[in-house]
């Protein structure tokens, strides 16, 4: 099977366990293939954790889950030096923490203090962790997928801007349509029946399909690296990001809404995600629609809105929509 066939198979398998969240599945795959970290946000019960687990379950990869709580320590994430003594010999050995996995689920990341969140910064950006003066590299396939709840903000710790910027995309999960929710009921009921049959010594479950190998991801990344990006598309991506920095040149509303523009990481993310979106669509070139499709996910967490915008209930997505209207492809 080609890399595209294997990635399509991965997408199909995820779709079997996540009903009504096709866009979320696509964004998770884009994050995986673009070698980035994702922040997934949604109300409780919308399958945030399930979606990430579905990706890890069907991929040949080590998976770890970190439940972020107010009493979590940085060493609980990165690992620590442990003193060992055997006979006359004694030494400190590094015991890796749960961050040392291929896919790391940082569940409810905003419930831990800033020092714990900061423990992820080096791993997310440099793909390494430094403990007691020694640097420990991460695996070639490594990504952090963090979740957070947009409500119940009491007792939480908002993510610092430096960490928000390190997320390739900020993915929002919304309620599924009623028809899809019916399918969710049937799916979960079938899973519960299968689990009870296994516990009661019933029929043996069907053999699990072979996990998608990591090499398929690396092969897909190589093909994505060869996707053609025209000069006009490159300028379009840069113009979109630049519009967040000089909003006064793009209408009357944007200057009232935007206080802080996006960093150059936004341009790089648009390029990576745009090429990946085109590859998933089966094209060998980036189309303007690829950029428009992923622009909200790339920009929504990189914009600092004014108090006036927040008072008017203006969302980052509305700001991005206005930017897409105002900036032309030259």
Beta bridge pairs of residue 169: 38
Q: What is the CB neighbour count within 10 angstroms for residue 122?
A: 16
CA 116 to CA 138: how far, in whole Å?
Answer: 18
Q: What is the pLDDT of residue 236?
A: 96
CA 88 to CA 181: how far, in whole Å?
Answer: 64
CA 129 to CA 78: how far, in whole Å?
Answer: 7
Of the candidates 9, 124, 1, 96, the residue with the CA atom closest to the CA atom of residue 59: 9
3-state DSSP call for residue 287?
A: coil
Which residues have C-beta within 8 Å of that of residue 188, sequence separation ≥ 6?
none
> Tens place of pLDDT for every residue, the chain, 330 residues?
899 999 999 999 998 888 878 888 999 999 999 999 999 988 877 778 888 888 988 999 999 999 998 899 988 999 888 888 887 888 888 889 999 999 999 988 888 888 888 888 888 888 988 888 888 898 999 999 998 887 766 667 888 777 888 899 999 988 888 888 898 888 888 888 888 877 765 555 556 778 899 999 999 999 999 999 999 999 999 999 999 999 999 888 999 999 999 999 999 999 999 999 999 999 999 999 999 999 999 999 999 999 999 999 999 999 999 999 999 887
At 59, list the tokens: 């991929």
| Confidence (pTM) | 0.89
Q: What is the CB neighbour count within 10 angstroms for residue 243?
A: 21
């Amino acid at each position: 099977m080609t890399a595209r066939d294997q990635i399509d198979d991965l997408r199909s398998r995820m779709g079997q366990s996540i009903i009504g969240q096709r866009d979320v599945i696509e964004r998770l795959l884009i994050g995986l293939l673009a070698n980035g970290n994702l922040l997934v946000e949604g109300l409780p019960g919308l399958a945030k954790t399930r979606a990430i687990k579905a990706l890890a379950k069907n991929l040949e990869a080590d998976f770890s889950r970190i439940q972020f709580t107010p009493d979590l320590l940085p060493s609980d994430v990165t690992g620590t030096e442990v003193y060992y003594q055997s006979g006359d010999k004694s030494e400190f050995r590094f015991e890796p923490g749960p961050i040392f996995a291929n896919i790391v689920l940082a569940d409810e990341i905003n419930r831990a203090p800033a020092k714990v969140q900061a423990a992820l910064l080096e791993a997310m950006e440099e793909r390494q962790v430094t403990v007691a003066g020694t640097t420990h590299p991460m695996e070639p396939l490594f990504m952090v997928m963090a979740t957070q709840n947009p409500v119940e903000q009491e007792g939480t710790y908002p993510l610092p801007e430096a960490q928000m910027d390190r997320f390739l995309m900020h993915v929002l999960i919304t309620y599924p349509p009623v028809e899809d929710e019916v399918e969710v009921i049937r799916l979960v009921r079938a899973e519960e029946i299968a689990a009870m049959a296994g516990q009661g010594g019933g029929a043996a479950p069907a053999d699990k399909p072979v996990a998608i190998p990591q090499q398929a991801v690396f092969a897909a990344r190589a093909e994505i690296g060869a996707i053609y990006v025209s000069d006009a598309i490159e300028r379009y991506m840069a113009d979109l990001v630049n519009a967040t920095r000089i909003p006064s040149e793009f209408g009357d509303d944007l200057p009232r809404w935007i206080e802080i523009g996006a960093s150059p990481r936004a341009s790089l993310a648009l390029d990576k995600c745009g090429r990946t979106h085109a590859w998933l669509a089966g094209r060998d070139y980036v189309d303007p629609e690829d950029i428009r499709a992923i622009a909200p996910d790339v920009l929504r967490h990189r914009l600092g809105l004014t108090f006036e915008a927040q008072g008017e209930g203006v969302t980052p997505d509305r700001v991005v929509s206005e930017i897409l209207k105002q900036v032309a492809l030259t």
